[in-house]
Amino acid sequence: MNRYEMTFHVEHVDESLVDQLIDEFDATVGTDHTGHEFVTVLGEGPSFNVAARSTVTKLQARGLCLKRLVPDLANRSEIAARLGVTRQAVQNWTAGKRQGDFPKAINPVGGGVWFWRDVWEWATAHGHAATVDTVYPAQQEVDSVNAWLGARR
């Protein structure tokens, strides 16, 4: 059984629900600078699709209105922080100066943004990240869950 991390953009999280989400899903609940609310949870299953659908059903049963599954993206600073390396190391990787097979940015604007799953797999394969029991969704998995969520509305 795999553990998958997933972040959902939600309509509103009632304060009375936060402790339950933390206890049951090891969740974090937060708001971005624009006021949008997000819930990050861990779900389990034999595949991401199974884990995500099961998690969505459980979250909705608790009254959460899920707008979409958010792709896990990271810029250079976030990559450095998540891997515990310097920003200069990440700059060298992304520029091809060290280990030229670093994943390509999905968008180069503002220095670039990468799918965390691609970076995590690369970092694990190159000894820059410890193997952990948490798996991160690929873009096509996020797209599939969002299509399913849209069809459920």
Same domain, 7 and 49: yes
- Whether 110 and 49 share a structural domain: no
pLDDT for 93 equals 95
Residue 69 near residue 146, CB atoms below 8 Å: yes
Q: pLDDT tens across 101-137, in order?
A: 999 999 988 889 999 999 999 999 999 887 678 899 9
**What does pLDDT average to over the chain?**
93
Residues 77 and 103 in one domain: yes
Instruction: Please report the pLDDT score of residue 115 as a whole number.
Output: 96
Claim to verify: residue 62 and residue 82 sit in the same structural domain: no
Which 3-state string (H, E, C) describes the chain?
A: CEEEEEEEEECCCCHHHHHHHHHHHCCEEEECCCCCEEEEEEEEECCHHHHHHHHHHHHHHCCCCEEEEECCEECHHHHHHHHCCCHHHHHHHHCCCCCCCCCCCCECHHHCEEEHHHHHHHHHHCCCCCCCCEECCCHHHHHHHHHHHHHHC
Question: In this predicted structure, what is the pLDDT of residue 144?
Answer: 96
- Flag whether pLDDT at 29 surpasses 80: yes
Domain count, the chain: 2
Report percent pLDDT > 70 for the chain. 99
Domain match, 8 and 61 both: yes
Rounded mean pLDDT, 59-64: 94
Q: What angle do CA 78, 17, 59 make, to 5 degrees?
A: 75
pLDDT band at 10 (very low <50, low <70, confident <90, very high): very high
Whether residues 48 and 77 fall in one domain: no
Residue 67's CATH number: 3.30.70
19 & 58 share domain: yes
Q: Examine residue 131 and state whether it is found in any structural domain, yes or no.
A: no
Q: What is the pLDDT of residues 76-89, one digit of tens each?
A: 999 999 999 999 99
